[in-house]
C-alpha cells in the first residue's frame, strides 16, 4: 500500500480564531525565574507583586492583605509553592531577581511575624502589613472560575475601611492576565506577521530566511538586534548554569515524597565510564542534563521557563546535546536554536495553550519537545519544511499526555518526563532530517489536535492531582 501526502484542502485544519501576529516576544517564551512551577509559582508571584504596586499607589495605607486561590492553584498550590510565591510577590520580589537561597528564611520570618514588608523587596519604599497565612491565604479547590483554571483574587483592606479586590489568572509559562485587561499589542508592527505555521513557512520562504531569523527580525519591534542577541545569550547562560548546578547538588527534594536527587551520581557514573574507555552513551548524557535542570526546579532553584518550569529541562538538555555531540559551540547557532524554538512556542501559546491546567502535560513537556525538535533541526542544517516536520513529530507523539503529579509536587513523574521529552525531540529532529520535509500531518493540524484533546481531557488529568498517578500512587 502506498501512502501519499494528501493535498492541503483534503486535510483542512479545523477553523481557529485567527490572529495577526502572536503578539508576544520571545522574551515571553523564555523567562528566568525560580521553581517549582511557572504557572503556580512564577505567575502568582508576579500577580502578587503587581497587586502590591497597586496598593502602594493607593492614597490610604493598607492594614491587611489576603489572597484566594481557585481551581488548579488551590488543588496543587501547596505542592507547587504557590503559598510562598504569594508572600514573596506581596513583599515586592520578582521571580527574575529573588535569591532562591534566601527564600526559606524570608518565608519563615514573615510567617512567624504574621506580617509582610509590602513591596519592599522591589525597593518601592513599602511598609509592613498584616498577613496571617492561615486566615489570609484561602484555598478553594472545588471552585473553578470561567476565565482560567488558574485564578486568584488578591484583596487589600485600607485604614479607612475601604477594600480593593483584583483578580488575576496565571495563564501558563509564568505569564499573568489581570481580569478585564487586554494585551497591549495593537501598536506592535512586525515585518513578518503570521497567523499559523503554514503562514510562518510562507513568509520565511518568501524572504529567503530561516524561521529563527524571521523571529529575530520581528523582535526589532521591541528592541534592537544587539539587545535580542544579548537576551538569547543570557538565556543560554542561565540554562547552562542550571544544568551545571544541578549536577553538583545532592540530597532529598522538599515536599515529603522523599525523592532523592540523582543527577550528581549519574554524572559521576558517566565520567567513570569515560575514564574506563567505555563507549560514550549520548542519550544517557541527555537524560542527565534534563534531570539536573528539573531537580533544580523541584528544589526551588533558578531555572529558565522554556516554555514552562515543569518542562524546563527539555530545551537545555537538547541544546547541550547539540553543543557536546554535534560541535555546536558557535554562539550564532545557539541563538538560531533558541529563536527557532521560540517561533514554534509562539504558535502553541496563541493557537492553543502552554498551561497544563488547560492542556495537561502535552501543553508543557509536549510543547517543549516540539520546540526543541525544531531548534535542533534548524542548527543541524534542516530546511524550514524539515523544521516544521520535526516540530510536528515532537508533538504528535505527546498528544494526550496528562498532568497528574503525585502529591501535587513537580517531581513524579515530572522530572523523568523531561528526560523522555528531550530524547523524543532529538529523535524527531533526525527523523525530519532523514526526510525531505513532506509529511501527512501538518504542524497546524497537530496544534489544533492538541487543543481539542486538552479541551476534551477531564479536569482530573490537568494539574489537579485528582486522577492518574496522583491517586494510584500513595504519597507518603
- Reported as a single tens digit per residue, the pLDDT across 391-421 is 999 999 999 999 999 999 999 999 999 999 9
* Whether residue 8 has pLDDT greater than 50: no
How confident is the prediction for the chain on average, in pLDDT? Answer: 92
For 1-29, what is the mean pLDDT?
48
Confidence category of residue 23, pLDDT binned at 50, 70, 90:
low
Query: What residue has cell string 544544568?
Result: 243
- Is the pLDDT assigned to residue 123 strictly greater than 50? yes
**In the structure, what pLDDT confidence band is assigned to residue 4 with cuts at 50, 70 and 90?**
very low
Mean per-residue pLDDT, 357-385: 98
Domains within the chain, CATH numbers bracketed: 36-178 (3.30.1330.90), 197-461 (1.10.4100)
Confidence at residue 10, expressed as pLDDT on a 0 to 100 scale:
33
Of the pLDDT bands very low, low, confident and very high (cuts 50, 70, 90), residue 125 is low
Q: What is the pLDDT of residue 124?
A: 54
Residue 18 has pLDDT above 90, yes or no: no
pLDDT value at position 365? 98
- Give pLDDT, residue 22: 53
Q: For the residues 64-76, what does the mean pLDDT come to?
A: 96
Mean pLDDT of 130-151: 95
pLDDT at residue 1, as a whole number: 29
Q: With beta carbons less than 8 A apart as the criterion, state whether 378 and 340 touch.
A: yes
pLDDT tens digits, 143-168: 999 999 999 999 999 999 999 999 99
The average pLDDT across 338-345 equals: 98
Please write the tens of the pLDDT for every residue from 95-111. 999 999 999 999 999 99
- Rounded to an integer, the average pLDDT of 206-230 is 97
pLDDT of 354 reads: 96
pLDDT of residue 15: 37
Which pLDDT score is estimated for 180? 86
The pLDDT confidence band at residue 182, using thresholds 50, 70 and 90, is low
Residue 11 has pLDDT above 50, yes or no: no
- Whether 49 shows a pLDDT value over 70: the answer reads yes
Is the pLDDT confidence value at 169 over 90? Answer: yes
Instruction: Report pLDDT for 14.
Output: 35
**Average pLDDT, stretch 263-286?**
96
Q: Which residues, at least 6 apart from 393, have a Cβ–Cβ distance to it below 8 Å?
A: 373, 428, 431, 432
Amino acid at each position: 500500500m502506498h501512502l501519499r501526502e494528501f493535498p492541503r484542502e483534503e486535510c483542512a485544519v479545523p477553523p481557529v480564531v485567527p490572529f495577526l501576529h502572536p503578539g508576544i516576544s520571545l522574551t515571553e517564551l523564555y523567562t528566568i525565574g525560580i521553581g517549582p512551577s511557572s504557572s503556580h509559582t512564577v505567575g502568582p508571584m508576579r500577580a502578587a507583586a503587581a497587586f502590591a504596586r497597586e496598593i502602594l499607589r493607593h492614597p490610604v495605607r493598607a492594614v491587611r492583605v489576603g489572597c484566594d486561590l481557585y481551581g488548579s492553584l488551590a488543588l496543587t498550590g501547596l505542592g507547587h509553592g504557590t503559598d510562598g510565591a504569594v508572600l514573596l510577590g506581596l513583599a515586592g520580589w520578582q521571580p527574575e531577581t529573588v535569591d532562591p537561597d534566601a527564600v526559606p528564611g524570608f518565608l519563615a520570618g514573615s510567617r512567624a511575624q504574621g506580617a509582610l514588608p509590602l513591596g519592599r523587596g522591589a525597593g518601592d519604599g513599602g511598609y509592613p502589613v498584616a498577613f496571617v497565612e492561615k486566615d489570609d491565604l484561602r484555598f478553594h479547590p472545588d471552585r473553578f472560575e470561567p476565565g482560567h483554571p488558574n485564578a486568584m483574587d488578591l484583596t487589600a483592606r485600607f485604614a479607612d475601611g475601604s477594600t480593593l479586590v483584583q483578580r488575576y489568572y496565571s495563564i501558563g509559562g509564568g505569564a499573568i492576565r489581570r481580569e478585564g485587561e487586554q494585551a497591549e499589542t495593537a501598536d506592535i508592527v512586525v515585518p513578518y506577521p503570521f497567523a499559523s505555521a503554514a503562514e510562518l513557512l510562507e513568509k520565511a520562504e518568501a524572504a529567503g530566511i530561516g524561521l529563527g531569523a524571521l523571529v529575530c527580525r520581528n523582535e526589532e519591534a521591541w528592541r534592537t538586534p544587539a539587545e535580542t542577541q544579548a537576551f538569547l545569550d543570557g538565556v543560554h547562560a542561565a540554562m547552562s548554569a542550571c544544568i551545571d548546578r544541578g549536577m553538583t547538588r545532592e540530597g532529598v527534594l522538599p515536599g515529603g515524597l522523599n525523592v532523592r536527587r540523582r543527577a550528581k551520581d549519574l554524572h559521576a557514573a558517566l565520567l567513570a565510564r569515560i575514564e574506563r574507555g567505555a563507549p560514550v552513551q549520548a542519550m544517557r548524557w541527555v537524560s542527565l542534563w534534563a534531570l539536573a535542570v528539573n531537580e533544580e526546579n523541584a528544589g526551588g532553584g533558578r531555572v529558565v521557563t522554556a516554555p514552562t518550569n515543569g518542562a524546563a529541562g527539555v530545551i537545555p538538555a537538547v541544546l547541550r546535546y547539540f553543543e557536546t555531540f554535534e560541535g555546536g559551540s558557535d554562539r550564532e547557532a545557539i541563538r538560531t536554536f533558541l529563536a527557532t524554538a521560540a517561533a514554534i512556542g509562539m504558535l502553541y501559546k496563541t493557537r492553543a495553550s502552554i498551561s497544563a491546567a488547560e492542556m495537561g502535560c502535552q501543553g508543557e513537556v509536549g510543547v517543549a519537545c516540539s520546540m526543541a525538535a525544531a531548534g535542533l533541526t534548524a542548527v543541524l542544517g534542516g530546511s524550514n519544511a524539515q523544521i516544521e516536520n520535526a516540530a510536528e513529530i515532537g508533538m504528535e507523539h505527546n498528544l494526550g499526555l496528562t498532568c497528574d503529579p503525585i502529591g501535587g509536587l513537580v517531581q513524579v513523574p515530572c522530572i523523568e518526563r523531561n528526560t523522555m521529552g528531550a530524547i523524543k525531540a532529538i529523535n524527531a529532529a533526525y527523523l525530519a532530517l532523514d526526510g525531505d520535509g513532506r509529511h501527512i500531518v501538518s504542524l497546524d493540524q497537530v496544534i489544533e489536535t492538541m487543543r481539542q484533546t486538552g479541551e476534551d481531557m477531564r479536569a482530573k488529568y490537568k494539574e489537579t492531582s485528582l486522577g492518574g498517578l496522583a491517586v494510584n500512587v500513595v504519597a507518603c
